[in-house]
Structure 1
């Protein structure tokens, strides 16, 4: 069982029951502090929830430390959602990184020869030359799209939760509960982004909605239920749940 603890008007947790019992025994938590676990209708004193862990009659528990020792965070903390320009900066960095393997692969697959042929034929028949060039580079385009897709899926579902570009500007991708993306969710998110690559729309069109949505989500974020947050993967700011099932939307301990 996992227990939430109320202290100084903030909500901490959740913690394992064994931890809370130990804190009650050693005086880290006080019996009059409030606690809650799933299934309860309201907050109650920890001493009532775990009466067998109360200090023995006549015993004087040690003075609790002035600051709570909890490693958790309050759910009332609001994360900072990454805006358009931070995300654009990350995209530029990732683009420059990918240009190195993209260039090498393109040349290895005959891009140089295709361009030479284009230049030699374009004066005689511009339409035919461009059509031939497009046909020649089509396999290259598909290979580069697959590599770019794998790049984003791998890094965004990794322990870093971010591509090198996102790491450089200090942002990360999470699900709506602030957790690391699964490979499937990262793949879905970036599959939506690929749609933009096959359209005539401007390259950053899927990011424009970030300027208008409450949590700065692009089209791909909305469809994949993801957020882009500031901070590294070890950030301690929790993401507020879309619907809080615990008692009391606002906690005042």
Structure 2
């Protein structure tokens, strides 16, 4: 949980540093051809889309990298592996990331499963055949 909080804050900071300048430039480019509310709505849509992409890449790229962990997991001495303890690829990290939506949609039961499974796996880990291990 602490690793997730650390990563959430870090990914939010990264997102703000990327999205805000792009949003301002986008708004400036639209000046004269759109009204204020149109610019605001369009920039908001762009910001949401970029936020989703940045969060997805943050978790997926870090977990499939040589680190095998996001910065938050790394700070706490954790790593994400396949069922045999090997580094996961981008595809498996991608499956793990998107299946967290399912873990959350079912009243977060997919995350609570960690407390009740033999290998401490959440639903997203079972779907992607991954483990979170101590270094």
Shift of 1:171: 0.6
**1:104–1:156 distance in 2 versus 1, CA, 3 Å:** same
Separation in 1 of the partners of 2:110 and 2:42? 28
Report the equivalent of 1:97.
10
2:50 paired residue number:
143
Question: Which of 147, 154, 167 is 2:74 aligned to?
Answer: 167
Secondary structure of the structure 2 residue equivalent to 1:191: helix
Question: How many residue pairs end up in the alignment?
Answer: 121
Q: Which runs of 5+ in 2 are unaligned?
A: 28-39
The 2-side partners of 1:187 and 1:228 are apart by 15
* TM superposition score normalised by structure 2: 0.75
The residue correspondences of 1:83-94 to structure 2 (distance < 5 A) are: 88-94=1-7
Deviations 1:74-106 (A, max 9, x none): xxxxxxxxxxxxxx1111111111121222334
Gaps of 5+ in 1: 1-87, 114-132, 232-253
- The residue that corresponds to 1:240 in the other structure is none
Structure 1 equivalent of residue 111 of structure 2: 207
The farther-off stretch of 216-225 and 101-110 is: 101-110
Q: CA separation in 1, counterparts of 2:10 and 2:87?
A: 23
Q: Does 1:191 align with 2:98?
A: yes
Q: Is the 8 A contact 2:103 2:124 kept in 1?
A: no
Once the 2 structures are TM-superposed, how far is the Cα of residue 136 of structure 1 from its aligned partner?
Answer: 5.7
Q: How does 1:13-162 map to 2 (within 5 A)?
A: 88-108=1-21, 109=23, 137-162=44-69
Distance (Å, rounded) in 1 between the aligned partners of 2:75 and 2:58: 16
Contact 2:113 2:122 in 1 (8 A): yes
Q: Which runs of 4+ in 1 moved over 6 A?
A: none
TM-score, length of structure 1 as denominator length: 0.42
Superposed counterparts of 1:233-244, under 5 Å: none
- 2:130 is aligned to 226
